A and B are shown apart, each in its own frame.
Chain A
Amino acid sequence: MGTANYIKVDPPEGYTSPGIFATMFDKVVGLARKNSIWPLPFATSCCGIEFMATMGAHYDLGRFGAERLSFSPRQADLLMVMGTIAKKMAPVVQQVYVQMAEPRWVIAVGACAASGGIFDTYSVLQGIDRIVPVDVYVPGCPPRPEQIIDGFMKVQELVGKEPLRRRYSKEYKDLLESYGIK
């Protein structure tokens, strides 16, 4: 079995010895988590169709470990909000976010989810960061599948580097307080 077609990922920093590899717990857990993120596709409008194309055979998000979509927030890691969120829908997004278990990440796909997009009207929420904390924004109207994959890879980077105690820290609790999430 040659190695010509394989891209080797470097192992995290650590101490190697025959039969032993010692590293920090964060790094191993991060490596495992980032390659099997279970997304929750919260697809409301046009960006949802581009997401369906991203999950299809041509662009295949399943290669990154996101093959198993979870429509139940209790079983999901990543909330992908794709499409316009109206003010009527905002409480629903917050309820879905609250039901997700820690650690959870949010990606805002598309201009409407990031900032309201072209719809600067009385009925559209001007960006979901008004109601939930967002980790990655993917601009575009709609973003190409390559851009959505790029945003997903940035989330993978964040997941891989996250310190284990972040979710118990005071800054994170204050962040959730500022959104009114208990």
Chain B
Amino acid sequence: MDNAIITGKLKTRFTQGILSVDEQGDMLTIVAAKEEIHEVIRFLKENESLGFTFLTTLCGIHYPDQELQLGVVYHLHRFSDNTRIRIKTFLPLENPEVPTVTDLFSAANWMERETYDFYGIIFKGHPNLKRILNVEYLDYFPMRKEYPLEDPTREDKDNRFFGR
């Protein structure tokens, strides 16, 4: 199906929610407002003519230079004609809340926990939002750009000899 048809249907249904559309990259990329993102994904999944029934992946991203610093990126896939679509939404750093999509896709359960673990994005309505990969007592969100890769408390490796 043509990207233009998908964009047309989305823009008709969500007049305010779709903030930008980009068709130049490898797949159709849409930026949606965080209030509408759940309905956008539900529309893409449940509308018979669209039918994107597979959530490929869900991840977070951090742009410290933007006004809305944290983002969530969803990739959806329709098997019948191999169409993929990428939907992004951006959130402010002070209050990074976005509704969960676990009611639409059970696959999003652990993916949202991983995004919370790495970036601190809160998914409202998630059944079990706690850290999944890191230790529970970790008190910061490690994938944000301001934190270093290495553990600053290690004493056996001297940064002078490791070129850092």
Contact = CB atoms under 8 A, between A and B. Distances in A.
The reply to whether A and B meet directly (CB within 8 Å) is yes
Interface of A: 87-88, 115-116, 120-123, 126-127
B95 to A, nearest CB: 26
B5 interface: no
Contacts of A87: 135
A120 B134 contact: no
Interface residues of B, number: 13
Given A120-B149, A126-B154, 11 more contacts: A88-B134, A88-B135, A115-B156, A120-B150, A120-B157, A120-B162, A121-B149, A122-B148, A122-B149, A122-B150, A123-B135
B142 A122 contact: yes
Interface of A is mostly: loop
17 contacts: A88-B134, A88-B135, A115-B156, A116-B157, A120-B149, A120-B150, A120-B162, A121-B150, A122-B147, A122-B149, A122-B150, A122-B151, A123-B133, A123-B142, A123-B151, A126-B154, A127-B156
A44 B147 CA distance: 27
A134 B86 CA distance: 49
A126 B142 contact: no
Contacts of B151: 121-123, 126
A118 to B, nearest CB: 12
Contacts of B149: 120-122
